[in-house]
Amino acid sequence: MSEPHVLLLGAPGAGKGTQSKRLADAFDIEHVTTGDALRANKDMDIGHMDTAYDTPRAYMEAGELVPDAVVNEIVKTALDSANGYVLDGYPRNLEQAEYLSEITDLDVAVFLDVSEPELVERLTGRRVCDECGANYHVEFNPPEEAGVCDECGGDLIQRDDDTEETVRERLRVYRENTAPVVEHYREEGVLVEVDGEGTPDEVFEAIREEVDAAT
């Protein structure tokens, strides 16, 4: 039996990162995330790709999409060596969805539904460990000691793009570019919706059931 091919869709802050990691562990598949790959390579030189800016950093700090050629390449390389996978943060526009359909087949696209006020609250209060990447929230999931990671003692920082102004821009970019991707998969008949506002455990169980049902 082949391993699951899963897409996790949702706005920034919907919980794609958290739930993708859990799904990858539970099904023993690759977690393929363009956001993490770009954060690890923020200053790579993409000038030769005929882009408006020379590095991913400039796009990310503005809350804009990094050019398709850059992210398509990241995803192609990752999927070439993956058996099963959960894709997180890609595709973010219809062109990327078209490219994806040329390189792989999906079993299911899971849309995590979260209201916009909740997204803003989650993102602006988010803190991440700059050592191990663990996620916290100043109000909903604070660390034992402010500013210090419970897991590894690393410093907790706010992502450059989690400031209120950039969050608003990321949500605008989501509505304009990525919401049509959700509709595209709905029309294709592979979309399922999960309420993303339950506890992380509840959301995970709902996603797991959908993946089990589709594979």
Write out the residues near ligand AMP by the rule CB under 6 A. Answer: 12, 34-35, 38, 59-60, 63-66, 71, 89-90, 92, 96, 161, 170
Contacts of 209 (CB under 8 A, 6+ apart): none
What is the closest distance, in whole angstroms, from the C-beta atom of residue 204 to ligand AMP in the complex?
Answer: 19
168 is catalytic: no
Closer to ligand AMP at the Cβ: 8 or 211?
8
- Whether 126 is catalytic is yes
SS (H, E, C) 138-157: CCCECCCCCCECCCCCCEEE
Which residue number, 1 or 52, has a Cβ lying nearer to ligand AMP? 52
Q: 16, 22, 122, 127: which is the annotated catalytic residue?
A: 16
User: One of 42, 159, 168, 186 is an active-site residue; which one?
Assistant: 159
Tokens of 49: 């790709």
Residue 16 is among the residues annotated as catalytic for this protein: yes
Is the CB of 57 or the CB of 215 nearer to ligand AMP? 57
Q: How far is the CB of 213 from ligand AMP (least distance, A)?
A: 26
42 is catalytic: no
Least separation in angstroms between residue 145's CB and ligand AMP is 26
**Residue least distant from ligand AMP (Cβ):** 35
Residue 171 or 191 having the CB closest to ligand AMP? 171
Measure the CA–CA gap between 172 and 167, rounded to whole angstroms: 9
Own/partner contacts of 61-64, CB < 8 Å, gap of 24 or more, are 61/160, 61/161, 61/166, 62/166, 62/169, 63/161, 63/166, 63/167, 63/169, 63/170, 63/173, 64/169, 64/173
CA distances from 37 to 84, 117, 188, 212 (A): 18, 28, 28, 28
Give the residue numbers annotated as catalytic, written as ranges: 16, 92, 126, 159, 170
